[in-house]
Structure 1
Amino acid sequence: MPDGKIMKALSGFYYVKDEDRVVQCRGRGVFRKQKITPLVGDYVTYQAENDQEGYVTEIEKRKNELVRPPIANVDQAVLVFSAIEPSFSTSLLDRFLVLVESHQITPIICISKMDLLSSDQTKEIEQYAKEYENIGYIVLRSSAKWEDGLDTLIPYLEDKISVFAGQSGVGKSSILNALRPDLDIKTDQISSSLGRGKHTTRHVELLSIGTGLVADTPGFSALEFSELELEELPFCFPEMVHYGEQCKFRGCLHMNEPKCAVKSAVEEKNIPEYRYHHYQQFYEEIKSRKPRY
């Protein structure tokens, strides 16, 4: 039987791309019984009824999956954060980074609106950017006009499945429109009272950008650590993985344990203090989470 990749899911139909054709498929009833839902990004086997219609019969094992947006096999997340309007938030960025790391997705940090900063503000944002680069993250800078920064972003999208996520109201849809002007993705204006933008996309679809694929929906609308366990949290901070190898106790959670190399690295300013502070916040949040049954 032929195979392909689900490019779009809409109203119970799955649009499977198989080389140069797209076949509109339904899922087999067995998926419902097994409580499995085919997702955009899935590699599937399908049975063709004719040239344009068929049934999804098998789903290959996923390397990861997201609930919101519902998508599978994501390679990377482009985290879009504005330098100003709204202000750059390391707390929110670190929350996104932990969520991305917990799904084994590579993050790319993109700081927009750099051209709107004063010289002092530029120094502050550049300092943050360098600290994240020192951790090992890719950090891109762009202006308020996304067309000016696309040449730095596009090479990272090649041959990857990417989602865009980040602060609300920073223009994620504007980026996609700049990448593919023919899309004309609709966006609502930012609400001045809430400081938030609304995205009007109603389904998930993978769009071709060069040799890459991009989901046309904002990622991670749920920012709670509902699936992350305490023991996994340190592994979502690359610098803690690095220094944690020197901790006295295996399985050190870098909170109250003696001879903790991570806490020493914070004191010696090898780990930014705000990163450790956010780690502590996330630790307490997960610890106080209601148990799941």
Structure 2
Amino acid sequence: MIGTIIKGIGGFYYVKVDDEVVECKARGKFRFNELTPLVGDRVEIAVKNNKGVIEKILPRTSELIRPNVANVTQAFVVFSIKSPDINLDLLNRFLVICESNNLNIVLFINKRDLAAGQDLKFIENYFGRIGYKYHFIGAKAGEGLEEAGKYLKNNVTVVCGPSGAGKSTMINRLCGSNVMETGEISEKNNRGKHTTRHSQLIAVKDGFIVDTPGFSSLDITKIKKEELQHCFPEFEEYKYQCKFKGCLHYKEPGCGVKDAVEKGIIVQGRYQSYTTMLEEISKVKLYD
């Protein structure tokens, strides 16, 4: 039988096959081959006396490192516009990590009821110029989540963002039950508490969604500096106007991307995030 690993705890793997979930152990051969089954893996299992054994891991289309989840196709990036306030530099890091893993990205801005009109207009201008699909939602009341549901079919969707942004609340609303614990914002430091204890896939609307425990600090230094520009899709049109082949859009003269920034076509804040990350990557590579 072929199924999908939806959860792994203490050496046991829970494999969804059609409408049934089978508890399985993995054969020892995977350890010898340095291959560990991951949540999201498509696997071939054998079942005897209601006990399952994972016989084969099918080829992966993708693999996230943190969290360790296989075959993800899409990312819901969730940030709150207030409480805590939106951090655009952190948001750009999430977007870059998702782009580097070739994920389709949909952005959800939560707690719209706490935002003033000028805050909403700023977000519309910022992301409208980048080209990402974005939606304002009120996860606690379930406002705007109909759009989120439309994206789930035939996708394995990772839900990511900082603590306190409303990821678990959003998942609970989409699933129609409290499948994820949620935490309140700490009044002392206005930051959310980590509430999810392990990764698991949840079947919903002919797809799967996965929450991402501990996904709050983002290491972009594994990305090659030459590849970072590809994680900023709004650069694509203008990089062909650069004077020099292999332009990093940093200090080179005759740069089409920098020219687009100066003209206000590319968002200045996005370009600043790009150069900050480029410097960070270059510094690390210098000492490797």
Alignment TM class, shorter chain as reference? over 0.9
Q: Distance in 2 between matches of 1:48 and 1:232?
A: 44
Question: 1:153/1:113 Cα in 2 relative to 1: closer, same or farther (>3 Å)?
Answer: same
Q: Partner of 1:120: helix, strand, or coil?
A: helix
Which amino acid in the other structure matches residue 107 of structure 1? I
Question: 1:235/1:263 Cα in 2 relative to 1: closer, same or farther (>3 Å)?
Answer: same
2:83 matches 1:85 = yes
Q: Percent sequence identity over matched residues? A: 44
Q: Distance in 2 between matches of 1:240 and 1:19?
A: 43
Q: How many residue pairs were aligned?
A: 288
What is the Cα deviation at residue 218 of structure 1?
4.2
> 1:1-293, aligned counterparts within 5 Å?
2-50=1-49, 52-131=50-129, 135-143=130-138, 145-218=140-213, 220-289=215-284
Question: 1:291/1:71 Cα in 2 relative to 1: closer, same or farther (>3 Å)?
Answer: farther
Deviation per CA, 1:49-70: give whole Å up to 9, x if none. 33x3222222122121112222
Instruction: Please tell me whether the aligned partners of residues 195 and 213 of structure 2 are also in contact (alpha carbons under 8 angstroms).
Output: no
Instruction: Please tell me whether the aligned partners of residues 146 and 174 of structure 1 are also in contact (alpha carbons under 8 angstroms).
Output: no
What is the Cα deviation at residue 38 of structure 1?
0.7
What is the Cα deviation at residue 120 of structure 1?
2.8
Structure 1's unaligned 5+ residue stretches are none
Question: 1:184/1:33 Cα in 2 relative to 1: closer, same or farther (>3 Å)?
Answer: closer
Q: Distance in 1 between matches of 2:243 and 2:214?
A: 38
Structure 2's unaligned 5+ residue stretches are none
Deviation per CA, 1:155-198: give whole Å up to 9, x if none. 01122111111122111111112122323522232222232222
What is the Cα deviation at residue 290 of structure 1?
5.7
Which amino acid in the other structure matches residue 63 of structure 1? T
* TM-score between both structures, scaled by the size of structure 1: 0.91
Which amino acid in the other structure matches residue 140 of structure 1? H
Q: Distance in 2 between matches of 1:219 and 1:156?
A: 24
Q: Distance in 1 between matches of 2:7 and 2:121?
A: 42
Instruction: Please tell me whether the aligned partners of residues 80 and 109 of structure 2 are also in contact (alpha carbons under 8 angstroms).
Output: yes
Question: 1:124/1:221 Cα in 2 relative to 1: closer, same or farther (>3 Å)?
Answer: closer
RMSD (CA atoms) = 2.0
Which amino acid in the other structure matches residue 167 of structure 2? K
* TM-score between both structures, scaled by the size of structure 2: 0.92
Instruction: Please tell me whether the aligned partners of residues 101 and 236 of structure 1 are also in contact (alpha carbons under 8 angstroms).
Output: yes
Instruction: Tell me which stretches of 4 or more aligned residues in structure 1 moved more than 6 Å.
Output: none
Q: Distance in 2 between matches of 1:37 and 1:9?
A: 11
Question: 1:21/1:145 Cα in 2 relative to 1: closer, same or farther (>3 Å)?
Answer: closer
What is the Cα deviation at residue 81 of structure 1?
1.1
Which amino acid in the other structure matches residue 198 of structure 1? K
Q: Distance in 2 between matches of 1:282 and 1:247?
A: 20
What is the Cα deviation at residue 291 of structure 1?
6.8
What is the Cα deviation at residue 144 of structure 1?
5.8
